Amino acid sequence: MVVFCWHKGRLIKIGRIVLVTVVLLLAGLGAFSLYKVVSFDLPLFEGAPLAPSPEQEYVPGQIIVKFKSGTPIEAENQLNEGLGTTVIYTSPKGGFKVLQIPEGKTVAEMVDIYSRQPIVEYAEPNYIEHIQPEAK
């Protein structure tokens, strides 16, 4: 089979193998770009992840905080530094931050402190989602 197409204003012949190769190549590039979009919001962590025990409700030593819209980054940084927390992840789409809390503080204590701040929309523990296997 021979296919004809336009290239630079003239008609050219393309063989079946060349046509299939080009189509597959373009399809592969489309799938790759979709993968990049889907994985864009995932954090990159160094080292092995901490394995939570099955009875844990949330990640120890971490909270999730979302600052109110329009809050200057300087105000966020000043609050975090004053409370001894470190931003370990910022969601580019959700706008929330995962904070590492300082040694000697509890998750409940830090959630309460952040929740009372006028520039904070919400603060909560970094809850662990437990998936139950489906009964057969």
pLDDT at 133: 76
The per-residue pLDDT of the chain, averaged, comes to 77
Q: Where are the beta strands (DSSP E) in the chain?
A: 2-7, 10-15, 58-67, 86-90, 97-100, 120-127
pLDDT at 130: 73
pLDDT at 34: 43
CA-CA distance, 136 to 133, in Å (whole number)? 9
Indicate the domain borders of the chain: 2-38, 58-127
- Separation of CA 74 from chain center: 23
Task: Return the structure tokens found at 44.
Answer: 């990159």
pLDDT at 113: 97
pLDDT at 134: 78
Domain 58-127 belongs in CATH node 3.90.550.10: no
Predicted TM-score (pTM) of this structure: 0.58
- Give the residue ranges of the chain where pLDDT is below 70: 1-55
Of the candidates 35, 45, 39, 38, the residue with the CA atom closest to the CA atom of residue 89? 45
Name the one residue in this structure whose structure tokens are 């993968």.
35
22 Cβ neighbours under 8 A, 6+ residues apart: none
CA-CA distance, 67 to 118, in Å (whole number)? 9
Q: Using one digit for the tens of pLDDT, what is the confidence trace for 1-34?
A: 555 555 565 655 555 555 566 666 666 655 444 4
pLDDT at 8: 61
